[in-house]
Amino acid sequence: MGRIIGIDLGTTNSGISFMDGEEPKIIPNDRGNRITPSVVAFTEKGEILIGEAAKNQAVINAEGTILSVKRYMGSDHIFNLKQHGVYSPEEISSFILKKLKKDAETFLGEEVTDAVITVPAYFKENQRKATREAGRLAGLNVKRIINEPTAAALAYAYSIKGKANILVYDLGGGTFDVTYLSKENNRFTVQSSRGKSNLGGIDFDNLLLGKVLDNFSKECGIDISTDKILMQQLRDQVERAKIELTSRENALIALPFITASNKPLHLQFEITRREFEVLIEEFIGSTVELSLAAIKDAGAKPENVETLILSGGSSRIPLVRSMLSSAFKLEPEKKINPEEVVALGAAIQASMLTGEVNDIVLTDITPFSLGVEIEGGKFVKILQANTRVPARKSRVFTTISDNQRSVEINILQGESENASENTSLGRFLLSGIRDGKRGEPRIEVIFSIDADGILRVKARDIDTKVEQKITINSAFREYDEISFKEKISIKNRVTSLVNRVSALSEKFDGFLDRSFKKEIGETIRIATKAIVNENVKELSKCLIVLETLIGELNSLCYDEEAGEYEQA
């Protein structure tokens, strides 16, 4: 097996790494920096900028710049960039990954095709699939998805011998995770995880931004929140002030010449570290509570934690360190760089896959419960959250009506008692159940998950022996008896493409002839039906047709914009 790189695909910044012999090392980007801003921008000239180049022009191109795309992964969100087209979160993320891939190839002097990518431990299956899809679009074969806290622990404890109970507190730009794991020599065992997929430094920025805007509005009677250029300038100032408060007791946020009236107005706002801490204290307190809950989930106590590892840029905030030290009576490890530790761990995981490192054993857990939907729209858990993998468990169910010959198995991931509030991973139909009165037939549902996170679900009638099964992982599903591997997250992909086609066709409605409109409408109708029915074969056909339509519509978009430019 060839070289596999490690990638930390972050909300605000991303990093890449590789194994240099027995040591994981960070790969610098084309500017020599060890982390790359997770920012993508589209210029008026049609250029696509990534990283520092995108971030540096955000002030003058706020509408064409996309930040924090990681928060939208796994959703149906669409980025409508007007003349530049419509993009899904996976496509935007793929631009970031393409740049990281190119930087790695330049540094290593060889082609890079394989990668391990990290995700928050509390990412659900659809978010993990979206991450794999982004890798595929970037030309990467994603060999493994690894949880960020687990990667951080690997990076720290890789060269440390002996035993240790480790708590990894991972607070990044947009997500929070905490993982408790034990290390005994070269064996790592994840005990429990907790987290929030929408909590991080961006939320702290927004709190401070709101305070600055409110203060300026009260003092000057002007609302600048609708001015996109001013808001981007102010966001940059707020972020710098937050970072300054890590090492200073106060910081100044200033924007001169807000207005061009007879009396120019200047925005000036000074904030102390303590004032900032009051703003974010509730958020930080919730992360500490989740950390304590993770310890409890593992059947341990705070005093059992022997090593505290901080990862993610937001973990540098002094309040984080002081509240954690108070809760665990322990000082965080100071030998690691919070912004780099996850990427380094990804490189170690990559070397485990290639066999370069073969003396490490990593045992992970399922961060969410897995189960099925039953009568009344209720969710029954079969594999509980924090179950150590590999694992296998079964449960016997029965029918809800007389002479019922089939039953649908809806596989769910989540913690809510209501099935509709959890994530559906797939469905299949078990037919051929023996005749009998309600409650007589016995249907055994078996859940098994392996070390790679591949979930296999089988349902069988205990009496007739008839059975059906489904395999769910981040790369494919096999439905019933069909030996057909579904492309990564195909349902989400087709949904995204339907939304894009609808948005583009609406925008250029006046330029489409009747037959083309009819073709678009019929394709959307068929694709929507395939999405509802989760018909893998039909979804695959729709995928090709929709991508062709988008190519034609984007071409029309380009021609129309060019025509307007020539007439100007």
pLDDT for 549: 75
Average pLDDT estimate for 170-182: 95
Q: Which of 114, 148, 177, 239 is catalytic?
A: 148
Q: What is the spatial distance between Cα 488 and Cα 454, in angstroms, rounded to a whole number? A: 13
pLDDT for 283: 97
Taking phi first (over 0 means left), then psi (-120 to 50 degrees means alpha), and beta for anything else, what does residue 377 get? Answer: left
In terms of pTM, does the model score above 0.85? no
Q: What is the spatial distance between Cα 234 and Cα 228, in angstroms, rounded to a whole number? A: 10
- 453 has pLDDT over 80: no
Q: pLDDT tens, 315-337?
A: 999 999 999 999 999 999 988 89
- Confidence grade of residue 454 (pLDDT, cut at 50, 70, 90): confident
Average pLDDT estimate for 15-36: 96
pLDDT for 476: 28
What are phi and psi for residue 334, nearest 5 degrees? -105, 0
pLDDT for 543: 72
Q: pLDDT tens, 368-409?
A: 999 999 988 999 999 999 999 889 999 999 988 888 887 888
Which of 556, 490, 563 minimizes the C-alpha distance to 520?
556
Q: What is the spatial distance between Cα 527 and Cα 508, in angstroms, rounded to a whole number? A: 21
pLDDT for 257: 80
pLDDT for 565: 33
Residue intervals in the chain for CATH 3.90.640.10: 201-279
Fold of 201-279: Actin; Chain A, domain 4 (3.90.640)
303: annotated active-site residue: no
Name the packing angle between helices 201-220 and 228-244 (round to 10°): 120
Is pLDDT larger for residue 545 or for residue 210? 210
pLDDT for 548: 66
CATH level 2 (architecture), domain 368-479: Sandwich (2.60)
Q: pLDDT tens, 494-546?
A: 888 888 888 888 888 877 777 778 878 888 888 888 888 777 667 766 776 78
pLDDT for 84: 86
Average pLDDT estimate for 18-30: 95
Q: What percent of the chain has pLDDT over 70?
A: 91
Residue intervals in the chain for CATH 3.30.420.40: 4-200+284-363
Q: pLDDT tens, 103-155?
A: 999 999 999 999 999 999 888 888 988 999 999 999 999 999 999 999 999 99
Average pLDDT estimate for 163-185: 93
Q: pLDDT tens, 41-58?
A: 999 888 999 999 999 999
Helix (H) / strand (E) element for 156: namely helix 148-157
Catalogue the E-assigned strands of 274-323: 307-311
393: annotated active-site residue: no
Helix (H) / strand (E) element for 238: namely helix 228-244
Name the packing angle between helices 201-220 and 273-297 (round to 10°): 150
CA distances from residue 474 to 54, 126, 186, 391, 428 in whole angstroms, order as listed: 30, 8, 27, 18, 18
Q: pLDDT tens, 354-369?
A: 988 888 888 888 889 9
Residue intervals in the chain for CATH 2.60.34.10: 368-479
Q: Which of 55, 70, 99, 242 is catalytic?
A: 70
Residue intervals in the chain for CATH 1.20.1270: 490-567
Which of 235, 173, 178 minimizes the C-alpha distance to 199?
173
Per residue, the 3-state secondary structure of 209-223, as one string, reads HHHHHHHHHHHHCCC
Residue 445 neighbours by CB under 8 Å, 6+ apart: 372, 382, 394, 395, 396, 397, 409, 457, 458, 459
Average pLDDT estimate for 295-301: 95
**3.40.1390, 1.20.1270, 1.10.10, 2.60.98: which CATH number matches 490-567?**
1.20.1270
170: annotated active-site residue: yes
70: annotated active-site residue: yes
Q: Which of 125, 170, 461, 486 is catalytic?
A: 170
Report yes or no: 493 and 487 within 8 Å, Cβ to Cβ.
yes
- Confidence grade of residue 552 (pLDDT, cut at 50, 70, 90): low
4-200+284-363 placed in CATH 3.40.50.720: no
Q: pLDDT tens, 232-278?
A: 999 999 999 999 999 999 999 998 887 656 677 889 999 999 999 99
Listed range (67-81, 509-523, 541-555) with the worst mean pLDDT: 541-555
